[in-house]
């Protein structure tokens, strides 16, 4: 049995060089979670390469080469400039993304976006149908492709099809704003299994089904839930996604990362380092976090020269004006705060706007005394988990938004905050930095235990198990293949 992952983007970034394109591994939660899964199980990843490639042969050669290095195959879905504009920027990022993050006033309900979504769904369906075998397990990922399952059934795909939503699912009073709400809900029920990050998201989905599809029958079967509608039964569950804890932990403990962490710490010249790392996105609450930090500096002068905030923002969706505005807002706040508080020998905020090399990222996680993970709303937030996995000294503090899905698993040992409550976040910062290393250890030890136990393979096993499949069956395919031909290294 082979695993076929389908997501909007392939797990790569296409970079232009003087001689053409080159690939590197993509970033973001979905890729960092599923990359290790495919590297272990092998299989196929279908998605948009992330750029308009003019030369298909060159693209296929690049993908084949990248796939050989990773140990799984990459199959592109080619999107036109109109598709990218109407489906990716429009339907996905101007409608579903803000709506599902409870930010309905940011939505742009343009009818043409729905048309573009249907066109792109057809393109994905043709590529998947041409590449999948009946014995494959096809696993569709995330909010861009909610309706793909139904289309795949319409084109006659016989494989089992699962779906996992990486972002939150909203309650009915928000979901019902979507002009195509019944269609989207009905299409989701065509998958064999639909997975959500938390029980709360699952409850919201059930409430939407009750409100919009009253004829659907909902029932609980053991620890699974089922919805029967229009002659089909769809299973549902909450499967909090994890990370490859051992991989992060091992790499963070390496001498190279230890050396880099020591160097950065010496360069920063502050006793306590606070760390914020996010993709540039309004859901991440970066301006609120900066205002809370400013408030902490205004209210608690004892923090001056004692703390420094390392704020890393990873570029994302830069062609969208809203994201450009957000970048400008962040940069204005950083310069205002630094202007107000900097003294010779001490800069309160070190601001980084770029993607980090993996070792550098690990070094930041390792050296940070406090991580500020304060999204306004987030499906899971894997930064919180990556931070704990890299805390090899075990004495960091995690300040975590109560609106991140990870708060369900980690809330007991993180310092939970409402990111909109600046007073509270400022006080949480003061409290976190005043704890001694010994006081911090027990909570970090428990956090690391949770993240290790409920890692990406635990997630995979639970999802496949709910589909009646096993991880062994997936790795069996890889073992059989490796007998026939040596695996690429």
**Which stretches of the chain bind ligand F6P, using CB under 6 A?**
9, 28-30, 142, 166-167, 279, 316-317, 379
Q: Closest separation between CB of residue 122 and ligand F6P, Å? A: 20
| Short-list 145, 150, 142, 237, CA closest to 195 | 237
232-238 and 193-196 beta bridge pairing: parallel
Phi-psi region of 55 (alpha: psi -120 to 50; beta: other; left: phi over 0): beta
Q: Supply the minimum distance, in Å, between the C-beta of residue 141 and ligand F6P.
A: 8
- In the complex with ligand F6P, the residue whose CB is nearer, 281 or 427, is 281
Instruction: Say whether 190 is catalytic.
Output: no
Q: Are 126 and 155 in contact (CB under 8 A)?
A: yes
Active site residue 378: yes
Which residue's CB comes closest to ligand F6P?
Answer: 28
Distance CA(274)–CA(399), nearest Å, equals 10
Q: Which residues pair with 163 in a beta bridge?
A: 140, 194
Q: Which of residues 168 and 348 has its CB atom nearest to ligand F6P in the complex?
A: 168
Beta carbon nearer to ligand F6P, 103 or 268: 103
From the number of C-beta atoms within 10 Å of its C-beta (0-12, 13-18, 19+), residue 198 rates as: buried
Distance separating alpha carbons of residues 434 and 428, to the nearest angstrom: 10
Nearer to ligand F6P, 148 or 213 (CB): 148
Helix (H) or strand (E) holding 409: helix 407-410
At residue 188's C-alpha, the angle toward residues 118 and 375, to 5°, is 95
Choosing from 166, 190, 413, 455, the catalytic residue is 166
Measured from the CB atom, the residue of 80 and 355 that comes closer to ligand F6P is 355
Count of other CB atoms within 10 angstroms of residue 375: 26
Q: Which two tokens stand for residue 346?
A: 């001490």
Q: Per the residue annotation, which of 73, 142, 378, 413 is the catalytic one?
A: 378
Nearest distance, CB of residue 194 and ligand F6P, angstroms: 15
Which one, 98 or 396, has the nearer CB to ligand F6P? 98
Through-space distance between the first and last CA atoms of the chain, rounded to whole angstroms: 22
CA distance 138 to 72: 15
- Smallest gap from Cβ 86 to ligand F6P, in A, equals 15
Residue 106 Cβ vs ligand F6P, minimum distance, rounded to whole Å: 15
CA distance 90 to 117: 9
Report in angstroms how near the CB of residue 170 gets to ligand F6P at its nearest. 15
Which residues are part of the catalytic machinery?
A: 166, 378
């Amino acid at each position: 049995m082979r695993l076929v992952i389908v997501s909007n983007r392939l797990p790569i970034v296409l970079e232009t060089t003087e001689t053409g394109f080159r690939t590197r591994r993509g970033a973001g939660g979905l890729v960092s979670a599923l990359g290790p899964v495919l590297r272990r199980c092998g299989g196929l990843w279908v998605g948009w390469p992330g750029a308009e490639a003019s030369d298909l042969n060159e693209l296929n050669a690049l993908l084949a080469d990248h796939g050989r290095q990773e140990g799984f195959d990459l199959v592109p879905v080619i999107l036109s400039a109109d598709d990218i504009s109407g489906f990716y920027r429009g339907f996905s990022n101007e409608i579903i993304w803000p709506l599902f993050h409870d930010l309905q006033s940011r939505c742009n309900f343009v009818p043409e976006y729905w048309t573009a979504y249907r066109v792109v769904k057809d393109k994905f369906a043709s590529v998947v149908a041409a590449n999948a075998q009946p014995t494959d397990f096809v696993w569709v990922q995330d909010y861009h492709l909610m309706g793909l399952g139904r289309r795949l059934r319409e084109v006659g795909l016989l494989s089992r099809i699962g779906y996992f939503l990486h972002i939150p699912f909203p309650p009915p009073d928000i979901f019902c704003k979507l002009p195509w709400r019944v269609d989207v809900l009905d299409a989701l029920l065509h998958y064999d299994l639909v997975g959500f990050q938390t029980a709360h998201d699952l409850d919201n989905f059930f409430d939407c089904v009750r409100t919009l599809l009253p004829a659907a029958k909902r029932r609980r079967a053991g620890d699974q839930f089922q919805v029967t509608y229009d002659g089909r039964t769809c299973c549902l569950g909450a499967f909090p996604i994890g990370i490859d804890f051992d991989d992060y932990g091992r790499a963070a403990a390496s001498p190279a990362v230890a050396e880099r962490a020591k160097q950065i710490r010496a360069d920063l010249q502050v006793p306590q380092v606070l760390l914020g790392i996010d993709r540039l996105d309004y859901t991440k609450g970066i301006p609120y976090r900066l205002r809370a930090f400013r408030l902490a500096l205004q209210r608690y002068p004892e923090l001056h020269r004692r703390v420094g905030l390392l704020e890393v923002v990873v570029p994302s969706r830069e062609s969208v004006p809203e994201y450009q505005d957000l970048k400008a807002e962040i940069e204005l706040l950083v310069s205002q705060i630094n202007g107000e508080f900097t003294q010779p020998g001490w800069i309160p905020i070190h601001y980084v706007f770029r993607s980090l090399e993996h070792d550098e990222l690990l070094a930041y996680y390792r050296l940070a005394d406090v991580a500020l993970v304060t999204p306004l709303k987030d499906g899971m937030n894997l930064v919180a988990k990556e931070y704990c996995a890299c805390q090899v000294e075990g004495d960091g503090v995690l300040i975590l938004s109560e609106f991140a899905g990870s708060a369900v698993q980690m809330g007991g040992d993180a310092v939970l905050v409402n990111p909109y409550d600046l007073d509270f976040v400022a006080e949480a910062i003061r409290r976190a930095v005043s704890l001694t290393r010994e006081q911090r250890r027990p909570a970090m030890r428990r956090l690391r235990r949770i993240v290790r136990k409920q890692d990406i393979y635990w997630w995979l096993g639970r999802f496949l198990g709910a589909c009646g499949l096993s991880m062994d069956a997936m790795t069996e395919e890889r073992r059989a293949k490796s007998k026939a031909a040596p695996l690429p290294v």
